[in-house]
Amino acid sequence: MRDNKLDLTEALKYINPASLSYQDWMNVGFALKHEGYSADVWENWSAQDTKRYHPGECRRKWDTFLGSSNPVTGGTIVQMAIDAGWQPSGQYDGDGEIGWDDAIGGRDVDELKVVNTAWMEERDIPAPPANMDGPRELIRYLSNLFEAAENVGYVTESYVNAEGRHVPTKGAYDRTAGQLIEALNNCKGDIGAALGDYDPETGAWIRFNPLDGKGVKNDNVTEYRFALVESDTLDLAKQYSLMLELKLPIAVMVHSGGKSIHAIVRIEAQNYEEYRKRVDYLYEVCQKNGMELDRQNRNPSRLSRMPGVMRNGKPQYIIAENVGCENFVQWKEYIEGINDDLPDIDTFDMQNIPELAPELIRGILRHGHKLLLSGPSKAGKSYALIELCIAIAEGRTWLGMECDQGSVLYINLELDKSSCMNRFRDVYRALGWESVNSGKIDVWNLRGKSCPMDKLVPKLIRRAKQKRYIAIIIDPIYKVITGDENSADQMSLFCNQFDKICTELGCSVIYCHHHSKGSQGQKRSMDRASGSGVFARDPDALLDLIELPVSEAQRDNLEHEEVRRCCTEFLDAWKPGWRDTADQTQQISHVYLSARCADIGNEWFFRNLESRKKAARQKTAWRIEGVLREFAPMEPRYMWFEYPVHRLDDEGKLSHLRAEGEKRRGAKASGGEKLSADEKFERDKAAFDMAVLSANGGEPCTLKDLGEYYADSDGKAPTERTLRNWITKYDYWIDKNTGFILQNEVKNSISES
């Protein structure tokens, strides 16, 4: 046996082999052999299933288990045992997936657990009535469960099958409860005279839901009123005590005359689908509290033991009637109320107002709150979140917004480990920041290992409990979404998982989601995220990225500006006195600067220049907008995505751009746009900027060049006075020496040089 802290033989004590399918039983054998146990452990445990056990069968099968590349491990046994109510105190360290930090099952282990069987006081089962009046017992049963006109299914005859077991026949199903009660009242104490003789060694059976009188299958059930709870893995006193402790809404509780109690539990479902859901919930609660149930008993047409008859010398009799909660709904509220970890109700006190949580991102997000970053593909959302991780770790700004400093966890669901770590390095370098506090960044790489959010969260909480992260970033959420993203109900449950992380870990949760398909310009920022509107309403802050179209002329300008920067840097390094031989217009001419650099003929420079020109043309323009719950409305921010980082547009070149399909603010629904004075100025200035840029092929232009650019097909152009007015209005000037039209910012930069 391996040196695991969890003893799997302890786990097996909670698993009833009789309740397992053949495959589950085999899986237990596979797991035991994989973990180094002997065949005797499987053999001795399997012997509890007296109906199916064959001596020596386990050992014969054991020798055929030759191993697998995908083995069944001890985790399978741990899972089964916990589902049956086991609470492990150690750790499973085998080759399987289950360990100390792992969630087991769909629910948390303690969820729905309301009874501590170790402290439960066992109660004595009421003794059978002396000189039991069989007909009277059965009349009590029928009166509790049926209306007089409803058909009742019952069986008094049985046969011996191939395995030597007594099996009930199909039985009768065409008599009503009223007819049976009348017959029992007139049978003079002989149940056989009313229902037909039964074998006193095997007893008799009865169905607990009314039938249509045509058969005994599920389809013949007319009212989904009751379900059967039966367990033969616990001793009778513990079964009885546990049923009462759970306050099951029991209509009748019957001693089977054997090793189990049959509780007829009120379900009161409107249809079969609701019946299935309620019975599944009932069985799950029972199992979580240590009562292993035979799942075959879930069928609404199932037979149960009939009270008032004998079975192998012991009576089948009613133990209790109408105990526990009054109905299923009340019982479910009771169970979930016990597990209710909701806070107390607070009274508002004007003199004792709690302080607001400090701000994690200034003016955007507080500690312990949630932020959603949404945007289309290729917006660099992952890079933006990596930038945010670094900004938090280093206590720097993110997209111009100050960040509090602390430890942060980045949950990477999309990239392999190497690619993700390289991205962090590349972003650090592109930002130009020293990695002084990079140790404050943890990365959980889950590509290929992710699981639905409701199963991921318990594992995350256990791992992060001692780390004291101030933020956890999940990128992207489509990898862990559970349910239909267009369903408000399902997405509300999904988003509740983020609240659980915030509450349990006391940190902020920041997550990333994509836009829906199609043009987004005509939508509000809060309506662009794909799926249900819950994604817009749930977070405390929603930041949305939308792309702004950049024309070819603007891309030419970006390239020319980058050439000027690159050449100026190179000339300053290699020809410090170059400005002495260049006039003012030459100093801002990308053509002149390129020629001067070419004279030097440095191969590294030309490779660098081509690389920077390509990067300049590949830049994309974006606007980020915010919908904030805790702060004043956020002014839109404009930025360039220059792989691999986003940089704010400090020069205001993007503020006049609109997204595809987007109308200007104030535009009339019928067509034409109604612009404010500021918006009209922005529009006209953008057009004039383009004219100055294009009039001489990207080089500085003169009044003559500008007039020719504006001239129509007949040669008619704006007057010189008009052009000069535009030059002044839109922040340009004319160099007296050359006649070139230059921006004032260029004039200022030349003066500084």
CATH code for the part of the protein at 367-548: 3.40.50.300
pLDDT at 126: 92
In this prediction the pTM is 0.54
Q: pLDDT per residue over 482-535, tens digit each?
A: 777 777 777 788 888 899 999 999 999 999 887 777 666 666 666 677 666 777
CB atoms within 10 A of CB 355: 5
Mean pLDDT, all residues of the chain? 85
Distance CA(640)–CA(400), nearest Å, equals: 13
- HSE (CB half, 13 Å, CA atoms) of 464? 31
Q: What would the pLDDT profile of 678-702 be if each residue is shown by its tens digit?
A: 778 877 888 888 888 778 877 788 9
**134-337 fold:** DNA primase, PRIM domain (3.90.920)
The rounded distance, in Å, linking the Cα atoms of 661 and 521 is: 5
- Residues 264 and 208 sit within 8 Å (Cβ to Cβ): yes
Q: Are 288 and 111 in contact (CB under 8 A)?
A: yes
Give the rounded distance of the alpha carbon of 173 from its chain centre: 48
Three-state DSSP at 528 gives coil
CA dihedral 190, 196, 197, 203 (to 10 degrees): -90
pLDDT tens per residue, range 80-112? 887 776 766 554 444 433 333 333 334 444 567
pLDDT tens sequence across 343-387: 778 888 899 898 999 999 999 999 999 999 988 888 899 999 999
Please compute the mean of the pLDDT values over residues 708-737 and round it to a whole number: 88
Rg (CA), the chain: 39
- Band the pLDDT of 145: cuts 50, 70, 90: very high
Question: pLDDT tens for residues 607-617?
Answer: 999 999 999 89
Residues 292-307 have a mean pLDDT of: 88
> What is the rounded distance in angstroms from the CA atom of residue 235 to the CA atom of residue 398?
64
For residues 275 and 269, is the Cβ–Cβ distance under 8 A? Answer: yes
**Cβ-based neighbours of 303, under 8 Å, separated by 6 or more:** 153, 155, 168, 171, 205, 206, 207
